[in-house]
Amino acid sequence: MPPERARPDAREPFSGAAARGLYPLALTRFLGSEILARWADGALAQTLAAQGHPSMRGTLERSYGESRNRRVAEAPVIVHKVCPQTRSAGLSMVHALSVDVEDWYHDAAVRAAGTPQSRVERNTLQLLDIMAAHGATGTFFFLGEVAERLPWLVRRVAGAGHEIGSHGYQHRHVMRMTRREFREDVSRSLRVIEDATGGPVRGYRAPYFSIKADVRWPIEILADLGVCYDASILAIDRPPGLELVCPRQPFRHANGLWEVPVAILQLLHFWHLPLASGAGFRLLPRWLVYRGVRQFERSVGPGVFYLHPWELDPLSPAARGAGRWLIRAGRRGFAETLAAVLDDIAFVPITEVFAELRD
């Protein structure tokens, strides 16, 4: 049976060539790193005219109205934790920090010849040191290939008080796998990670956030495998970020599996972007990201931030090509930036922020 594909959403204001053309390439890639960089470039005015769409102002107003109505309908699922210490950035809540533990060559755009030199061990240990120095803990989603090769690293992370989750076994896009391949990939990752830690794995995050909001079969398989929560669905999974496709806070799927989206920050009252991330802090000034986080706290509550160990490594190889500069941009000073962020925001694992996930 062929894999199920994501179906177009009838509520989406643009589709096809129009959806791919709404962002100028440079702005898209600058603001959204590896997620938004996958959205193709194009000329906004020409695309809208060719598709017969009305003015941009009218489009933004309608999309913002739909997103606003959806946000009003979102109901909190937890009692928000308040940060016990004063934060200079004016952020009062305890947030969740998540880390996707993968090596530089797991990027689909990389075509490494021979046996690539691993850098994940060094980068993860550096991240552990930075987090320990600032009293931060988080959830580490380990790629199964990394956990199988470096089980001691998984135990080291768990021993430091961090939650361990699965990032799949191979770094493959979920929508490019069959149901059987996906089940085998996740099952194998759970097995090697649980062998390393001696405990159950509660959470899963797909590579590339590649489970779509309107695709059900991966959610059914995750529940069948005993996973308690998924952290793979983006509240925006199509350009230009004007409409939310799911709540920005944790919610439950029909089969009981929890979904914990990463924090999607709102800019200019209508634009939603995944800036609570390593890419956001590497590419944008902290005050701008903090402004979005403060608005997120008021509207939604605590959120899930995410980053990768390779973002700390300015010497790590990266694929070449148009727009790939943003994967490397900002790495040289990211360790200092991250230390400052950990001073300003209190972080704990996902299951500590959202207690329902432990039930």
Q: How confident is the model at residue 87 (pLDDT cuts 50, 70, 90)?
A: low
Indicate whether 28 belongs to any domain: no
Which pLDDT score, from 0 to 100, does residue 117 have?
85
CA R_g for the chain: 20
Indicate whether 173 belongs to any domain: yes
The string of DSSP codes covering 124-152 is: HHHHHHHHHHTT---EEEE-HHHHHH-HH
Indicate whether 10 belongs to any domain: no
Q: Give the mean pLDDT of 110-135.
A: 87
Indicate whether 3 belongs to any domain: no
Nearest C-alpha neighbor of 101 from the set 77, 75, 125:
125
Strands (E), the chain: 94-101, 139-142, 163-166, 203-204, 229-230, 251-252, 258-259, 265-267, 271-273, 304-307, 346-348
- pTM, full prediction: 0.77
Which pLDDT score, from 0 to 100, does residue 55 have?
36
Pick the residue with more confidence: 113 or 210?
Answer: 210
Indicate whether 20 belongs to any domain: no
User: Looking at the predicted structure, is the pLDDT value of residue 37 above 50?
Assistant: no
Q: How many structural domains does the chain have? A: 1
User: Looking at the predicted structure, is the pLDDT value of residue 71 above 60?
Assistant: no
pLDDT in tens, 330-358: 999 999 999 999 999 999 999 999 998 98
Which pLDDT score, from 0 to 100, does residue 185 have?
98
pLDDT in tens, 213-265: 999 999 999 999 999 999 999 999 666 688 899 999 999 999 999 999 999 99
Indicate whether 132 belongs to any domain: yes
Indicate whether 91 belongs to any domain: yes
The CATH number of the domain holding residue 245 is: 3.20.20.370
Indicate whether 236 belongs to any domain: yes
Pick the residue with more confidence: 127 or 47?
Answer: 127
Range of the domain at 326: 80-358
User: Looking at the predicted structure, is the pLDDT value of residue 48 above 90?
Assistant: no
Q: How confident is the model at residue 105 (pLDDT cuts 50, 70, 90)?
A: confident
